[in-house]
């Protein structure tokens, strides 16, 4: 599963125009929904990047 995290519509448009593959777009990521082999791309708060 690939999560794309951004609240910026321009980033979402850019990703789609450049064929960036993702399964889910979310504005705020709930870590409880992310599984071991998932990939997360986008803007994250520092406390989530260290997990």
Report whether 26 contacts 48 (CB < 8 A): no
Mean pLDDT score of the chain: 91
Domain positions in the chain are: 2-49
d(CA 25, CA 41): 10
pLDDT at 9 over 70: yes
Q: What pLDDT does 27 receive?
A: 94
Q: What pLDDT does 43 receive?
A: 83
pLDDT at 51 over 60: no
Each residue of 25-50: pLDDT tens digit? 999 999 899 999 999 999 887 777 76
């Amino acid at each position: 599963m690939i999560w794309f995290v951004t609240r910026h519509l321009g980033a979402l448009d850019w990703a789609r125009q450049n064929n960036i593959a993702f399964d889910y777009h979310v504005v705020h990521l709930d870590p409880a929904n992310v599984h071991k082999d998932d990939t997360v791309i986008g803007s994250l708060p520092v406390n989530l990047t260290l997990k």
